[in-house]
Amino acid sequence: MQVRLEQVTKTFAGSKNTQATAVKELDVTIASGKLVGLLGPSGCGKSTTLFMIAGIHDVSEGHIYFGDHDVTALPSDKRGVGIVFQNYALYPHLTVWDNIAFPLLNAKEMKKRLKQRFAELSPPMANFKAYIQRLVEEAAKLVELTAYLDRKPAELSGGQQQRVAIARAIVKNPSILLLDEPLSNLDARLRVQTRDEIKRIQKQTGITTVFVTHDQDEALSICDEVIILKDGVLQQQGPPQEVYDHPANQFVAEFLGSPQINLVGGSIKANKLYLGNEEWFALPESLSDQPVNIGVRYENIRPDRENRKQAFEATVTSIARTGGTSTVQVRLADGQPMRLHRDSDDVLQEGDRVRLYARPRTVYIFNAEGEKILQC
Amino acid sequence: MQVRLEQVTKTFAGSKNTQATAVKELDVTIASGKLVGLLGPSGCGKSTTLFMIAGIHDVSEGHIYFGDHDVTALPSDKRGVGIVFQNYALYPHLTVWDNIAFPLLNAKEMKKRLKQRFAELSPPMANFKAYIQRLVEEAAKLVELTAYLDRKPAELSGGQQQRVAIARAIVKNPSILLLDEPLSNLDARLRVQTRDEIKRIQKQTGITTVFVTHDQDEALSICDEVIILKDGVLQQQGPPQEVYDHPANQFVAEFLGSPQINLVGGSIKANKLYLGNEEWFALPESLSDQPVNIGVRYENIRPDRENRKQAFEATVTSIARTGGTSTVQVRLADGQPMRLHRDSDDVLQEGDRVRLYARPRTVYIFNAEGEKILQC
Amino acid sequence: MKTQFARKFAVYLLLTIAVSLMLVPFYWMINTSLKSSVELLRTPPTMIPAELRFQNFLDALIKAPFLRYLSNTVFVAIAVVAVSTAVTVLAAFAFARLRFRGKTLLFFAVLGTMMVPQEMLIITNFMTVSKLGWMNSWQALIVPYCINPFNIYLLRQTFKQVPDELYLVSRVDGVSHFRYLQKVVLPLSKSSIVTTMILSTIWIWDSYAWPNLITTDDGKRLVSNGLQNAFTSDTGRIQYELQMAAATMVIVPLVLFFLLLRKYILSGMDKGGLKG
Amino acid sequence: MLKKKAARQARYDRSAYLYLLPALVLLAVFLLYPILNTFLTSFKNEYRFLTGEFAGFGLQNYADIFKDATFGRAIINTLFIAFVCIPASMVAALTISLLLNAIERWQGFYMTLFYLPQVTNVIAAGLVFAFMFNSNFGLVNTVLGWVGIDPVAWIKGEGIAASPKLYYEAYARCLFILFVYTVWQGISLKIILFMGGLQNINKQYYLAAKVDGTSSWRIIRKITLPLLSPTTVYVFITSVITAFKAYAQVISLFGSHYGPPGDDSKMMITLVGYMMDAMGDYLTPGSISKASAAAMILVLLVMLVTIVQFKLTKKRVHYN
Amino acid sequence: GGGNGAKGEAGASGALEKAVQAVVTDKKDVTISFWTSTGASNLPFLERMVDDFRTQYPNIKVDFSAQGRVDELAKKLTQNIVSKSTPTLSNLDASTFPEYIDSGAIVDLQPYYADGKIGFSGEEQADFYPIYLDEAKSFGPEGTLYGFPTNKKTTDVLVYNKTYFDGKGWTAPSTWDDVVKDSQTIKDDTGKPGFSFDNSYGDAAFKLMSQQWGSPYVAADGTADINNDATKDALAFYKGNMTKGYFTMPALMPSAGGKTSSNGFVMEETYMYVGAAAGVPFAIPNPKAGQKQFDLGVAPVPQKDPAKPVALSKGEDYAIFANATDEQRVAAWLLIKFLSGAEENADWLINSGNLPIRKSMLEVPAYKQFLASDKSDPKKYYMAAAVKAALATPMTYDKVTAKSGDIATETGNLWESVMIGGGDIASLLSQAAEKVK
Ligand SMILES: Nc1ncnc2c1ncn2[C@@H]1O[C@H](COP(=O)(O)OP(=O)(O)OP(=O)(O)O)[C@@H](O)[C@H]1O
Ligand SMILES: Nc1ncnc2c1ncn2[C@@H]1O[C@H](COP(=O)(O)OP(=O)(O)OP(=O)(O)O)[C@@H](O)[C@H]1O
Ligand SMILES: [Mg+2]
Ligand SMILES: [Mg+2]
């Protein structure tokens, strides 16, 4: 199912007669069957957007469509979405099993659909209860909770609780799945595993899925598209690699990429790009003279072994190894810092003078307002 | 302050007369003034350990020492620790300001200490209230919440709530700081920033800090030491790079490192290591013949351009670009998969046959029980 | 450690003192119920009956058809508790959770009815009931008790404390309001619901004027009427020892009822499934 | 704009009326209708209950009431119960509840004991209080004797009609007895309600505060009480409303003439007492409507007080 | 409201005859309901009488039930009048009658009383103590009989400590002067007040004494007449003796409290009191309860002027409700008549201590035997003594009015206020008179 937000705005009435606009005139289309990541800094309106799609928050202005259907006024129980809350929202009095089975057993629509599916089952199963049991167990297995089905939420660790919430959302096979930071409390292994599993389920069933995350790795590795918000305003939407490679503005460039992109001051003078005071390369387009910020990602800066013309000089100030790679900190001629990545076993030493280069197409040029004015 | 756990065990009485051992005979010493990361899969007992240190959970067996002082029976309010709960535990009826100021204004000990510090302030401040105000504001600024001081928790986003909890723990400058996944809901930028800030504060004040995280990057980049648990049992303790480079067993090797370490089946025959069926290299030590698991990290596998003897052949099956690097999936001669990292702009193609090698000292050999039997 | 103990001790001591003070009338009731009519008149009164006269209980039972009154009361109480709990829960849920027009107004109407003295309503209600032809009927004893604004207010207050997220997630899952009420709100609000049930029961147990007015048939009397009427002589003198013996017997079911439900009152609202 | 409004409307839960239906029907029949009837009756002059005849509508009944000095006394006494006795019994109940909440062992046992007065027979309670304040051998005087205080004649009316000083002394003593009785009477239920409320507070908050080294007293003040506020407001509002309807306790303590023997001013009368007296006189024309007028004034007063309470407490009540 | 009454009058005799024919002759089945305020201890005796009636009239089904104290019963009746669901027959307090009559809620019994077939013969009518019928006749207008005396009649008597009196060589005082004289000696002798007057009915002392002193209490036109010199004198008399410590009140006795003197009396906190005849058993001392053993004496109430004795009757009367059909009325009347039978009442009177309402009752052997009880059964003995004392003085009644209840409350309060509170007699009297106007 396609989800379309049309000029959607959400304003909260604060406790002291103040108003907070959490989402502003958001225009976004989420194509049917896609897995879309919602990214942005804390407090940018991700959860709010999700809640509006789910029908939990009223839309202050604008419209939301599921397919061709305007659901703006549709109550949440009629929207047929599945959701994982950022704070889990498990039923505290129910066991894990009951929590997962809750939507199956207690939603009329759902039950009808399940009964039908049960009837069409091949090979057929003996009874409906066993079918439910199987569904719950499958979901539990997926999130590795099979051993905990009898426990109450209070007896689970944080990550285990989160997994129950995921199982509960997935078990009902919704037509739209909304996940609010579903993996934030999981360890790396389980995280990768669960996200791959979500991806698999999503692919298999074609559920349109919106996925809030603050982890770009996650976003970049499983999402078909990402939507990037800042202060409730849409910044960019597109396939993750596309957005990564072609950030729409300085914010996106800075936000995506870990470690953060290198940003150094520079300027355009007579259609030439200056890195600090040093001339770097000539621009393919003509742009007015102005001070600019130049963004280059770590991995796009390499030692220049071929003596390229466009290389620039720097001094290694420190080297930090993290896991398999080293982060090398260098200083440009005018003192601006920059970082690059090298393999851990590279032979650079502190104090070395190196020549570095980056291909022009990996260099983003932003004006003073943070708008991207050029990427070759 | 040094924290020492001696044979600490924690057993929960479950709801149905069952017993769950969350932590088992844990022997750990956290050196004074260190920042220690507590790692392990979800449900392995991290929070439980933290709660026992804080005095929130009673210890079922064993002893906990702060310095030379046995605190096992000391109530939590006498322990002088600061804590961030995994689920924040913000006071719902108080504003952000009040939440942060809560420990400053409501603990007698604390207030006494603050008054003293206030008296010794240079330059001196006009009144104590202003001093508190300043402390709260500093903490709020640190977590970028200055604009939200008047709000109640319910009016904050998930990440904002988490930041309040961090500010509340940090503001009181505790002698031991316990953080339970304090950054799980923050976006990458804020995450890096906050963790650096925590590191800075920790360094500056010398607070012994225990830090639960599921993010190894985090652990590896800021922790002085990491402690790795599995099912409540200590697996390894040591400086992060040390643990990364010299995992004590297969579990640790698998757990640390993202993406996960390559593990391929092999065997030892006549003191030679076989990768699948292919002979790889001779072992420097003599070991009995046995089937083994061989672990090699992604970044330690490289295309062999120098035609080394110890290289092995593989076929590229797929290439996935994520951000700045590509993950290359290859198949060994006997069909076992392996992955390696390359720069995104490497020229490998699917179907290419490549020769790969890894230095022997980056190769871990585990026996069938998952114990490490050799790392050259 | 020492202060810890001293503190605990002080708490128990205070509670014990408070409990003793509270229980004086209760003790007096039992004390009186075991005295002979002769000893009852002794001045100053004896603190412990010189001779425990359990005969009083038998006498009380013989004097009035107490078992009948008691079973009547139990029947009415069960009916009232069942119906009024249903009515109250539904209304309280609507007030606590649902959105509808006129909510504030209706809620204030409910609150408003709490303010009118019950005694004033009896006159009109008597007319209503007699017009309905309910005189001397079980309905007349049951139906008017099935609405209690105090309980609606109490439950609304409790229901409001169930975390919003639980409601939201069940709505998103397509769970109907009723199901949500049944499966989530009720289990989480056990303690308050049980409290209202106990209050309703006590209400029935203690109510005197209305049942007295509406029943003229001895077969439908409730215990409170029995208590008042059975032990009063024509000269207005009351046989206290019998009355107290009867009173003691009458409250036994209430105490048992409370003991049975006590653990629910102390169960509280589980909030373990939420972060934040 | 129009469209937006339509959207809003659709978000109303229509089924709400279904949920309310049984309650509203019963409410209308057994509460609202009688209230309306009372309201009408209060304006009927010379209303004769038996025949329903009356001499037109008017404010005569209200005028009569306001001319009556007894009515003023009823208001004062009622306010005393509502705003002196009730707060005191709330504080006592809250204190006991907090103590109860602080213990684990025996908690249920103590709860049960505290609950017993709630089921104790009203007559037994009345008897025991009369006995407790008996001037010769009452418990209170006995205890006072232990600490060397002379016995006090608690419910004593000698000479009070002749001497204002004696009258007010007697009045003060009666108020004291009423105070003790009212506090005692309401405490059980309040403890039950408070305990329910306390159990609903997430223990996590206590943990967080405890780790910070917050003293128990501070925790109570800064966390327990604010989070208990919905219960407290409920208890307060309903207790005050109940207090305004106080009647049985003054009757059981002071008899149907509302005072010590020798007093004919009905010094301890309450609003409902006033109403009941008028109602008790139901055969006298005009009497029932006078009672109705008193009831309406009572309702008006309670409503006023309740609204003020709501306004005052609204900001302080915390729901999650 | 008066519809029923009007109909009753229009076709009175014809309808009555028809109904009598149906019930008595044709033995047509008819069901009546009968409510009583009789307390639990005496109820079985009344029940037995009703049972006897049922046996005698198998075609009349009687729903008999006790409905609590007389004031509760009255409240209930009033409600049921409004909702037109009254019982057929009930007993009522005298003060209830005027308003019930006024609103046509009850039936005039005169036609039944005088009926040739079911009424009372002249001889039978003369058998009743006239006071009771006169009082019933006084409820309504001239010539009507809206009530009919029940068998629950009593009056106040003087109870005294006979052992003490015998010790002094005294007999029971018959005048107030005697009472004062004896009290003075008692005071000097024991330091205790000699006399107390129950105020369990609130207004009893006020009513009795003011009338003995010559106040009309209720004027001929039915209005209250209490603010007069006679009343003032009576009050001043009692008050004066209280000040001297000769007289007391129940509320002032340590052991009594409340409104009855008997508890103080058995503790010898006083030596005489005036109270209800039926309450005499409570004045018997019980050594097991730590009380000193002494004998009682029971005498008629003291008088101001023995030549013009005043003693007040207390009790209830039957009424038949207008709601009832003609046949039910006849049946109810038959029950009333049955319940006033002499033989029938013996057990009731013996056990309840109430006064006989017919002279012939005194002749019933069982009752005769009761009156002759000796001390071996102290309770019976003293109850009989109380009956004898009560019968010794001719009784009177006060005409009831719609305001009777008010007057009683006011004067009751006034009495306490004067005697205990020390209030000023004149001003309190004028206030009270104002209030009951
Ligand atoms: N109150 C409890 N009763 C029973 N079992 C519990 C309780 N609390 C925790 N456990 C169990 O103890 C184990 C350890 O829990 P703990 O909360 O320490 O895990 P954790 O390492 O913090 O995990 P996570 O990363 O998911 O938060 C888990 O398996 C959990 O289910
Ligand atoms: N109920 C509310 N009342 C007022 N403001 C609110 C409310 N809920 C959210 N906000 C504000 O709206 C903004 C967006 O909130 P939202 O929860 O959507 O953020 P988010 O993107 O999900 O952040 P996070 O990653 O921290 O969860 C925040 O600044 C938040 O403070
Ligand atoms: Mg969020
Ligand atoms: Mg945890």
Span B341-374, pLDDT tens digits: 876 556 777 888 888 888 888 889 998 887 887 7
E293 interaction partners in chain C (CB closer than 8 Å):
none
Span A257-312, pLDDT tens digits: 777 888 888 888 888 888 877 888 888 888 888 889 999 988 888 887 777 777 88
Q: In CATH, what number does C60-272 get? A: 1.10.3720.10
Indicate the SS3 state at residue B177: strand
Query: What is the CATH classification number for the domain harbouring B80?
Result: 3.40.50.300
Separation between Cα atoms, residue B165 and residue C254, nearest integer Å: 47
Pick the residue of A93, A104, A155 with the most C CBs within 10 A to test the interface with C by mutation.
A93
Task: Calculate mean pLDDT across residues E150-169.
Answer: 92
Smallest CA-to-CA distance from D197 within C22, C92, C266, C198 is with C266
- pLDDT over 90 percentage in chain E: 51
pLDDT at E202: 64
Indicate whether B206 and B316 sit together in one domain. no
Q: Which of residues 145-164 of C touch A (CB under 8 A)?
A: 163
Question: By the 8 A CB rule, do E401 and E99 touch?
Answer: no
pLDDT at B343: 67
Separation between Cα atoms, residue C213 and residue E82, nearest integer Å: 13
Q: Do chain B and chain E touch with ≥3 beta carbon pairs under 8 Å?
A: no
Q: Which pLDDT band holds residue A38 (cuts at 50, 70, 90)?
A: very high
Of A198, A231, A253, the position where a domain reaches its end is A253
Cβ of B156 less than 6 Å from ligand 2: yes
Question: In this complex, is the C-beta atom of C146 within 8 Å of any C-beta atom belonging to chain D?
Answer: yes
Spell out which residues have Cβ within 5 A of ligand 3, the ion: A 47, 86; B 157-158
Indicate whether A237 and A293 sit together in one domain. no
pLDDT at C14: 92
C42 interaction partners in chain E (CB closer than 8 Å):
289-290
Indicate whether A133 and A218 sit together in one domain. yes
The CA A222 to ligand 4 mean position distance, Å, reads 26
Of B200, B226, B253, the position where a domain reaches its end is B253
List subunits contacting chain D, requiring 3 or more Cβ pairs under 8 Å.
Answer: A, B, C, E
Cβ of A14 less than 6 Å from ligand 2: yes
C175 interaction partners in chain A (CB closer than 8 Å):
77, 102-103, 106-107
pLDDT at A25: 93
More confident residue, A342 or E376: E376
Span B187-242, pLDDT tens digits: 777 788 788 888 888 887 788 999 898 777 788 778 899 999 999 999 999 998 88
Q: For residue A18, which ligand has an atom nearest its CA?
A: 2
Indicate whether B271 and B370 sit together in one domain. yes
Q: What residues have CB less than 8 Å from B291, skipping those under 6 apart?
A: B265, B266, B267, B368
Separation between Cα atoms, residue B107 and residue D216, nearest integer Å: 10
Q: Dihedrals φ, ψ of C98, to 5°? A: -85, 160
Indicate whether B227 and B317 sit together in one domain. no
> Quick check: C171 pLDDT over 70?
yes
Closest atom of ligand 2 relative to the A51 alpha carbon: 18
Cβ of A46 less than 6 Å from ligand 2: yes
Q: For residue A149, which ligand has an atom nearest its CA?
A: 1
C187 interaction partners in chain A (CB closer than 8 Å):
93
- Given an 8 Å threshold on Cβ–Cβ distance, is E417 in contact with D161? yes
The CA B251 to ligand 1 mean position distance, Å, reads 19
**What is this structure's pTM?**
0.87
Indicate whether A267 and A241 sit together in one domain. no
Span C34-68, pLDDT tens digits: 888 777 766 667 778 888 888 888 887 777 777 88
pLDDT at E324: 92
Distance from CA of D124 to the nearest CA of C (A): 5
- Nearest by CB to residue B88, choosing from C1, C4, C276, is C276
Q: Distances from the Cα of A359 to the Cαs of A48, A243, A299, B328, D188, in angstroms?
A: 39, 18, 11, 23, 81
Question: By the 8 A CB rule, do E432 and E408 touch?
Answer: no
Closest atom of ligand 1 relative to the B232 alpha carbon: 14
Separation between Cα atoms, residue B73 and residue C143, nearest integer Å: 58
Span B32-83, pLDDT tens digits: 989 999 998 888 999 999 999 998 889 999 999 998 999 998 888 888 888 8
Indicate whether B188 and B273 sit together in one domain. no
C276 interaction partners in chain A (CB closer than 8 Å):
87
Of B253, B286, B312, the position where a domain reaches its end is B253
- Given an 8 Å threshold on Cβ–Cβ distance, is C276 in contact with B87? yes
pLDDT at B133: 92
Q: Could you tell me how far CA B250 lies from the centroid of its own chain?
A: 17
- Given an 8 Å threshold on Cβ–Cβ distance, is D157 in contact with E416? yes
Q: Which residues form the pocket of ligand 1, taking CB atoms under 6 Å from any ligand atom?
A: A 154-160, 185; B 12, 14, 20, 22, 40, 42-48, 86, 214
- pLDDT over 90 percentage in chain B: 24
Q: Which pLDDT band holds residue E2 (cuts at 50, 70, 90)?
A: very low
Lookup: tokens for E325? 């059909």
Flag whether the ipTM exceeds 0.95. Answer: no
Distance from CA of D227 to the nearest CA of A (A): 18
Q: Which of residues 253-282 of E touch C (CB under 8 A)?
A: 254-255, 260, 263, 266-267, 276, 278-279, 282
- Nearest by CB to residue E263, choosing from C41, C123, C217, is C41
Query: What is the CATH classification number for the domain harbouring A301?
Result: 2.40.50.140
Span B270-301, pLDDT tens digits: 888 888 778 888 888 888 889 999 999 888 88
Rounded (10°) CA dihedral D299, D305, D311, D317: -100
Residue of A nearest to D315 (CA): A15
Q: What residues have CB less than 8 Å from E111, skipping those under 6 apart?
A: E12, E13, E16
Q: What is the pLDDT along chain D (320 residues), one digit of tens a residue?
A: 334 443 444 467 888 899 999 999 999 999 999 999 999 999 998 888 888 888 889 898 999 999 989 999 999 999 999 999 999 999 999 999 999 988 888 888 898 888 888 877 676 677 777 777 777 667 777 778 788 887 777 777 888 888 888 899 999 999 999 999 889 888 988 998 898 888 888 888 888 888 888 888 888 888 899 989 888 988 998 899 888 988 888 888 887 788 888 888 889 999 999 998 888 888 888 888 999 999 999 989 888 888 888 888 776 666 65
The CA B26 to ligand 1 mean position distance, Å, reads 15
pLDDT at A17: 64
Q: Give the least confident one: A223-227, D1-5, D7-11, E105-109.
A: D1-5
Separation between Cα atoms, residue C189 and residue C163, nearest integer Å: 12
> Quick check: E79 pLDDT over 90?
no
C20: number of Cβ within 10 Å: 11
Q: Which pLDDT band holds residue B7 (cuts at 50, 70, 90)?
A: very high
Q: For residue B228, which ligand has an atom nearest its CA?
A: 1
Question: By the 8 A CB rule, do E285 and E361 touch?
Answer: no
Separation between Cα atoms, residue D11 and residue D13, nearest integer Å: 6
| Structural domain count of chain B | 2
Q: Dihedrals φ, ψ of A127, to 5°? A: -145, 160
Tell me the domain boundaries of chain C: 60-272
Rounded (10°) CA dihedral D96, D100, D101, D102: 100
Distance from CA of C148 to the nearest CA of A (A): 28
Separation between Cα atoms, residue A98 and residue A95, nearest integer Å: 5
Separation between Cα atoms, residue D63 and residue D293, nearest integer Å: 10
Separation between Cα atoms, residue E315 and residue E133, nearest integer Å: 12
- Given an 8 Å threshold on Cβ–Cβ distance, is E422 in contact with D160? yes
pLDDT at B172: 83
- Given an 8 Å threshold on Cβ–Cβ distance, is E65 in contact with C131? no
Pick the residue of D116, D122, D241, D281 with the most C CBs within 10 A to test the interface with C by mutation.
D116
Top-ranked range on mean pLDDT: pick from A238-242, D84-88, E312-316: D84-88
Indicate whether B243 and B307 sit together in one domain. no
Q: What residues have CB less than 8 Å from C257, skipping those under 6 apart?
A: C198, C201
pLDDT at C276: 59
pLDDT at D1: 39
Pick the residue of A42, A53, A91, A156 with the most C CBs within 10 A to test the interface with C by mutation.
A91
Indicate whether A234 and A272 sit together in one domain. no
Smallest CA-to-CA distance from A303 within A247, A373, A374, A357 is with A357
| Domain extent for B35 | 3-253
**For ligand 2, mutation pick of A46, A86, A216 (most atoms within 8 Å of CB):** A46
Question: By the 8 A CB rule, do C228 and E39 touch?
Answer: no
Task: Calculate mean pLDDT across residues C220-242.
Answer: 70
The domain D69-316 belongs to what CATH superfamily?
Answer: MetI-like (1.10.3720.10)
pLDDT at E8: 44
- Nearest by CB to residue D31, choosing from C147, C161, C163, is C147
Task: Calculate mean pLDDT across residues A116-128.
Answer: 85
pLDDT at B303: 81
C104: number of Cβ within 10 Å: 9
Indicate whether A110 and A202 sit together in one domain. yes
pLDDT at A98: 93
pLDDT at D66: 92
- Given an 8 Å threshold on Cβ–Cβ distance, is B77 in contact with D320? no
